[in-house]
Chain A
Amino acid sequence: MVLNILWFIIWGLLWAMYFALDGFDLGIGILFPFFAKTDQDKKAMLESIGPVWDANEVWLITAGGATFAAFPITYAYMFSFLYLPLMLILYGLIIRAVCLEFRYKVNNPTMISLLEFGFFLGSLLPALLLGVAFGNIFQGLPIDQNGYHGNLLTLLNPFGLITGILFVVAFLLHGSLWLSFRTEGDINVRAKSIAKKLWFVTLFFAVLFFVSAYFVTNLYSNYFSMPILLVVPILCVIGLLGAGFFINSSEIMAFLSSAICIIFLTFTGVGGLYPNLIPSSINNAFSLSAFNSSSSQYTLAVMTIVVIIFVPIVLFYKFWTYKTFSYKIKEGKGEGY
């Protein structure tokens, strides 16, 4: 039973890591057509995420794999119920990766604009739809003994859309903060000025999310019954305030604050869901929880040992990579991808 709780936390952590890391490079993809004015801007933007975006995306694969290994029943239902949105996310990620990779390998102008548009769309779709999916999970999905009773349109309800837009604007803020951290000169100044505007937009949607969550979800009941847990949403708010506070004084602190905001936003949702991974909006008896949808204790134990040994190694070399590639991209010297 302890292992179930541990894996519930790991499940949340993997999604949080994915959003905090891929979040900024998705954000840069969405920002791309609006921000980049010259070829140099484009190269700088792509170089800023070039060495890390691919490894960032692996957190999504790991989150998927860990859900499969630890909560196979949730894995099966989550992805078969959310069939079309998940497929759209996957198409987005495929198109995005290829467009990003091939942008500077082709020289036909039509092809280039097509690839640039694909990079934008492939960044926007996953950000928005993951937000919509999680917004719906927070509300609960219409599940009973006969399975799932929703479709793509029922997912596009107001709260789902609010969460989706919150993801998009938070990733945009996160991306522009990363861009200001990785660049100098004119791009840096412009990235900061966009980040300031995005900060207010993110704040607006965050407030809208937290207020409407009170009315349409049960996310707060865990927090009211165990007030100590309120530290999680408070840290999310502190992260957001920190991002705004540090924009001018410290680029790295502003970026890290926005990462903290995203991580604890995810945990606010996950903590509110506990013990469910996918609550049923019809009857809680059909909710998929950390206890009724999990693997055997044996498998959870094996996976725990794997995680204890290998995740620190992964974190170590990933940290090293970020350190190696945290240099400032000189104005007019971006390498592209």
Chain B
Amino acid sequence: MDAVMLSRLQFGATAMYHFIFVPLTLGLGILVAIMETLYYKTKNEVYLKMTKFWGRLFLINFILGIVTGITLEFQFGTNWAQYSIYVGDIFGAPLAIEATLAFFLESTFLGVWLFGWKRISPKMHLISIWLVAFSSNLSALWILIANAWMQDPVGFVLKNNRAEMTDFFAVVFSPYAWLKFTHTITAGFVVGSFFVMGISAYHLLKKQNVEFFKKSFYIGATFGLIASVLVFLIGDFHAAEVAHVQPTKLAAMESLWNTEKAAPIYLILVPDESKKTNLVEAFPIPSLLSLLAYHDPNATVRGLNSFPENDIPPVTPVFLSFRIMVGLGTLFIILTILAWWYARKDKLLEHRTFLKIMLYSLPLPYIATQVGWILAEVGRQPWIVYGLLRTNDAVSKNLTVGDVLLTLGVFIVLYTALAVLDFALLIYYARKGPLETD
């Protein structure tokens, strides 16, 4: 393997580890803030207990999100120096703004919230957790503005052998960025709500702290239902935008090899990349792909074979990721409707099988968010900046295979140890329940 492939593996691995922790932070932060708001309004102790119980799980997870993120920022410089030189005029700005606007706010008020229970007024304490929840989502906005620019470069000219920014607002208000941002944070909300519902289901099955976990479950279910519907709708718009700006990714998502008018979606499809066709195509739904991609049943969708061979992304992982993501997204809507309904009618304890399903569904939104990123990033290949700069030309020139191999190995060992420690602690404190806190 060469330094490019190893650097890709390194970036991919660190990004995916990072994205184990981030989505939960996005969703659970808001849920904890909602719980503390309920406590502030009602002065009901159960909401205080909730804030502390779920807040502790939030904190354990949060710190992992931060530390795994720091390395990502610096990898642009360490491993992707040519990329950094080429796009730094545009790409660095959102990263610097992310740190200035979001990271300071997030880390400062997390410290205030954690250590401020007895030092600041209840109102200021409540404001602190909302600032934490808000700023972690704000940081997602800026990093996704940067990422969206790699997917759909806008607001620049090519000058001095690099992309130079000409329109900051075109970069910031890129439709791709906002679709990606809203899709990502609502996915994080789904992760957060399934986390709360799954752990609550565990305790309800054991009939421990029933009132506490019924209330938690209801909050999770309400938030989760809204988020599941939103993530699906935004995802649909997002796919249409992909069709518009990244036709190769769209074709890979559906494994569409030949250009077709009124293109269908096949319910069963097995791609065969080596022969540049599909092995199996069965149960077509006529015109659906044209309709979803261009909101017009008769639209023409370009197939992969109409592009130069070296511009085509790996098809199978993109295709599979997309199917898994959409399948899980549909499942989340069904599950959250049921969850919300049972919780509202106070029938959760009667439906033990459903509670079990909710417990074992806890990892599913994690899977959905991971494959979502595989789709987004692998689907962009062979470009690091779509249509502008190839991944092969972006790597640092002075890197040796040994250096990258060594650091990749350390990252994998270190991050795996961290993930194990994190999950062990999350499970330990999740099982412990609220009674023994404080």
Which residue in B81, B98, B116, B168 is a CB contact (below 8 Å) of A76? B81
Q: Find the B residue at minimum CB distance from A152.
A: B403
- Judged by a CB distance under 8 angstroms, whether A281 is at the interface is no
Determine if B100 and A62 form an interchain contact, defined as CB atoms under 8 angstroms apart: yes
> Can you pick out 17 interface pairs between chain A and chain B where the beta carbons lie within 8 Å of each other?
A51-B115, A54-B66, A55-B104, A58-B107, A61-B70, A64-B99, A65-B73, A65-B99, A72-B92, A77-B81, A83-B78, A87-B78, A98-B64, A106-B425, A296-B165, A303-B97, A310-B101
Taking CB atoms and an 8 Å cut-off, the chain A residues in 46-69 that contact chain B are: 47, 50-55, 57-58, 60-62, 64-69
Distance A28 CA – B348 CA, assembled complex (angstroms):
50
Residues of B within 8 A of A311 (CB): 100
Q: Known contacts A65-B92, A81-B398, A302-B93; decide if A94 and B68 are in contact (CB<8 Å).
A: yes
Determine if B88 and A72 form an interchain contact, defined as CB atoms under 8 angstroms apart: yes
Number of residue pairs across A and B with beta carbons under 8 Å? 210
Query: What's the least CB distance linking A58 to chain B, in Å?
Result: 5
Distance A16 CA – B9 CA, assembled complex (angstroms):
34
Determine if B96 and A69 form an interchain contact, defined as CB atoms under 8 angstroms apart: yes
Q: Considering the complex of A and B, which 5 residue pairs feature the smallest CB-CB distances, nearest first?
A: A72-B88, A79-B77, A68-B92, A69-B92, A65-B96
Q: Known contacts A69-B93, A76-B77; decide if A298 and B164 are in contact (CB<8 Å).
A: yes
Determine if A51 and B114 form an interchain contact, defined as CB atoms under 8 angstroms apart: yes
- Judged by a CB distance under 8 angstroms, whether A93 is at the interface is yes
Distance A102 CA – B87 CA, assembled complex (angstroms):
38
Taking CB atoms and an 8 Å cut-off, the chain B residues in 74-89 that contact chain A are: 74, 76-79, 81-82, 84-85, 87-89
Determine if A80 and B164 form an interchain contact, defined as CB atoms under 8 angstroms apart: no
Distance A65 CA – B73 CA, assembled complex (angstroms):
8
Taking CB atoms and an 8 Å cut-off, the chain A residues in 146-183 that contact chain B are: 147-148
Q: Find the A residue at minimum CB distance from B119.
A: A324
Q: Find the B residue at minimum CB distance from A95.
A: B414
Taking CB atoms and an 8 Å cut-off, the chain B residues in 382-438 that contact chain A are: 396-399, 403, 406-407, 410, 414, 418, 421, 425, 429
Instruction: Taking A75-B84, A105-B429, A298-B164 as given, write out 6 further A-B residue pairs in contact, using a Cβ cutoff of 8 Å, ordered by the A residue number.
Output: A51-B116, A65-B98, A76-B81, A102-B60, A317-B104, A321-B112
- Judged by a CB distance under 8 angstroms, whether B110 is at the interface is yes
- Judged by a CB distance under 8 angstroms, whether B154 is at the interface is no
Taking CB atoms and an 8 Å cut-off, the chain B residues in 105-125 that contact chain A are: 105, 107-112, 114-116, 119-120
Determine if A97 and B66 form an interchain contact, defined as CB atoms under 8 angstroms apart: yes
How many A residues face the partner with a CB closer than 8 A?
Answer: 63
Interface of B is mostly: helix
Residues of A within 8 A of B68 (CB): 94
Q: Known contacts A306-B97, A327-B119; decide if A83 and B399 are in contact (CB<8 Å).
A: yes
Which residue in A84, A295, A314, A335 is a CB contact (below 8 Å) of B88? A295
Residues of A within 8 A of B101 (CB): 310
Determine if B81 and A296 form an interchain contact, defined as CB atoms under 8 angstroms apart: no
Distance A58 CA – B95 CA, assembled complex (angstroms):
12
Determine if A98 and B421 form an interchain contact, defined as CB atoms under 8 angstroms apart: yes
Residues of B within 8 A of A321 (CB): 108, 111-112
Residues of A within 8 A of B105 (CB): 314, 317
- Judged by a CB distance under 8 angstroms, whether A284 is at the interface is no
Distance A69 CA – B63 CA, assembled complex (angstroms):
26
- Judged by a CB distance under 8 angstroms, whether B217 is at the interface is no
Query: What's the least CB distance linking A117 to chain B, in Å?
Result: 14
